[in-house]
Structure 1
Amino acid sequence: MADDKGFDDFFYESRDGLRLHARIYGSQDDRRLPVVCLPGLTRNARDFHELALFLSRHPTVPRSVIAFDYRGRGASDYDPDPKNYTIAIEAEDVLTGLSALGIAKADFIGTSRGGLIIHVLATAQPTLFSAIVLNDIGPVLGTQGLAHIRSYLESPRTPSDFADAVAIHQAIHAAAFPALSSADWDRMIAAMYREENGRLLADFDPALVGTFAASEPDQPVPELWEQFERLSAVPLMVIRGQNSLLLLAETVEEMSRRHPRLEVIAVPGQGHPPILETGDLPDLIAQFLARADANSASS
């Protein structure tokens, strides 16, 4: 049972011996499948804290939530070989964690890289999914969005304190996120950083940036339509920030054409990726998962 933090820490071992971490919110209810949350490239399980509390404590449809820290992020071990920071290996780590928890089927929420991991898992283990929420990610990545991510990751600034961290990220992202309140910015920054020896540090292995920088910026990123179409029978919601440069509106239109059960949520005043605890997103996600449960039970 989760303690007063709202979650329990769960540690497990990867196939190559790393100690990996996930947060578990709520208690497993046999009537409802758990929700698995997968964060973005440099992010961690803390990104989902508010949403996970909402879902696990929902007054009518509470469900357990498992939020993963990939290797090299959050409370998981850093990998001594940065070449292992790949979507394929991270997908394998997620499967290892789910196996350790005895989970063979779940609902999934994937933000950015987490959604790409879902696409990989669609090929490796398609029966794993009961319903999926993709947060600002799809089979095609916008080149402007990738260039923007590359630019701020390759030229990081170490903040002097928490207020400076907020100011740094507002300077980079505020134009795409005019809808965020000061409290929203504070929660975002608190999830991204950790304190160490009196310094505020981004909570991921710095070597991770090198693996992203090593990719060829002028080379087209492979499209994942084949993997996406393996999910055609799975209830699917896509959340897109209206200012997103990574998930383009035309990509969402094509996703809708190829997936007859796709539900689309456009989030005004936010870019890549929308903050999932803001506005009515928690309610919309809970309602979508409840509908998926009901459709599954009646089929």
Structure 2
Amino acid sequence: MESRFYTSRDGLRLHARDYVPLDAAHEHNLPVICLHGLSRNARDFDILAKHLASHHRTPRRVIAFDYRGRGQSQYDKKWSNYNVLTEAEDVVSGLNALGIEHGIFIGTSRGGLITFVLAGMKPTALKGVILNDIGPVIDGAGLMQIRSYLQHAPRPKTWGEAIEAQKKIMGKSFPALTDDDWRFEVESRYSQKDGILSADYDPRLADTMKGLNAGDRLPTAWPQFMGLRHLPMLVIRGENSNILSKQTLDEMTDVHPAISHIGVEGQGHAPMVHTAGLDDAIAQFCASV
């Protein structure tokens, strides 16, 4: 893995993790572009990316982006720029900077919404799509939970405290996670500088959800989803998801002619893409595109 930095259209220094296989055969295989959730970062895909890049049959390049204000990307002084459209534009800038014309896109939660936008913004870039616990209809209860987390995020002093805090918040929805999974969760979520742990995103990200209320009728993205009907698609849904409902998943499968889906037991929003055999399933899907 190597860190790649590039400049957004408005001058921010943005970051992506670039996993390039040692096997030259990868040049014939479509690269994978990984897009994380709202307050997450590119490290969420580290184990999956290494699995795909070193696959014994179909090694492929993997790019995992840090959106502005997350991970190693520069924070934006204007928090209103933390929106799906701007972040999609940043991904396009990153693809151009890294010389990637097209690939298979994996979108976790917000990353899936960005993928919807990319389908209209740069349709030739998408050759296959994996949606991780996201669809054209978002469950409002799950969104309110995300808002609450951003507004009252824990501030652990040690890695041990961080693990216990995440277990307290997520444990009921993620009973399937092992000790190693919980450690990966917090090491992906937090960064440490001068011995101090902090969530690896701009705290002002919470401002983007200030106007959200429990009774709000949320917009849907069915037109954008329908723009992906010509592409092979894999949908992953956590058994305990409060973002992607079973009803929405059923409706997605009814209207998409080339869709398959996987249910992940003992996990909620959003399943870890390297657990429960998902890494092999994703590799198999990519090989079929």
Cα deviation for residue 17 of structure 1 reads 0.5
Q: Is 2:19 the partner of 1:25?
A: yes
Quote the offset at 1:235 in angstroms.
0.3
Q: Does 1:247 align with 2:241?
A: no
In the alignment, structure 1 residue 10 sits paired with structure 2 residue 10 = no
Structure 1 residue corresponding to 2:161, chosen from 139, 161, 164:
164
What residue identity is the alignment partner of 1:253?
D
User: Which contiguous aligned blocks of 4+ residues in structure 1 show a shift greater than 4 angstroms?
Assistant: none
Alpha carbons 2:144, 2:213 under 8 Å: kept: no
Normalised by the length of structure 2, the TM-score is: 0.97
Amino acid across the alignment from 2:6: Y
SS of alignment partner, residue 176 of structure 1: coil
| Gap regions ≥5 residues in structure 1 | 1-6, 293-299
Query: Matches of 2:232 and 2:249 in 1, distance apart?
Result: 15
Counterpart of 2:215 in structure 1: which amino acid? D
The number of aligned residues is: 286
Deviation at 1:213, TM superposition (A): 2.3
Structure 2 residues without counterparts, runs of 5 or longer: none
Rounded to whole Å, the distance in 1 between the matches of 2:147 and 2:202 is 16
| Aligned-pair CA distance for 1:126 | 1.5
Q: Output one character per residue of 1:232-291: Cα deviation in whole Å (capped at 9) or x when no partner.
A: 010000000010010000000000001011101000000000011112100000001111
| Matches for 1:199-210 after TM superposition, within 5 Å | 199-210=196-207
Deviation at 1:127, TM superposition (A): 1.6
Q: Spell out the pairing of 1:170-189 with structure 2 (5 A cutoff).
A: 170-189=167-186
Equivalent-residue separation in structure 1 for 2:275 and 2:210 (angstroms):
31
Distance 1:214 1:38 in 2: 25
Question: TM-score, structure 1 length as denominator?
Answer: 0.94
Shift, 1:102, TM fit: 1.5
* Amino acid paired to 2:129: I
For 1:236, the equivalent position in structure 2 comes to 233
Alignment match, 1:290: 287
Structure 1 residue aligned with 2:275: 278
1:175 is paired with a residue of what secondary structure? coil
Structure 1 residue 216: deviation in Å? 4.3
Aligned residue for 1:88, secondary structure, equals helix
Root mean square deviation of aligned Cα: 1.0
Summarize deviations over 1:209-242 as a string: whole Å, max 9, x none: 1112233443222100000001101000000001
1:208-223 map, 5 Å: 208-223=205-220
**How far, CA to CA, are the matches of 1:275 and 1:33 in structure 2?**
22
1:80 aligns with 2:77: yes
Residue type of the partner of 1:16? D
Q: Is the 8 A contact 2:141 2:214 kept in 1?
A: no
- Structure 1 letter corresponding to 2:45: F
* Aligned mates of 1:146, 1:71 — CA distance in 2: 21
SS at match of 2:142: helix
* Residue 124 (structure 1) shift: 1.2
Q: Does 1:51 align with 2:48?
A: yes
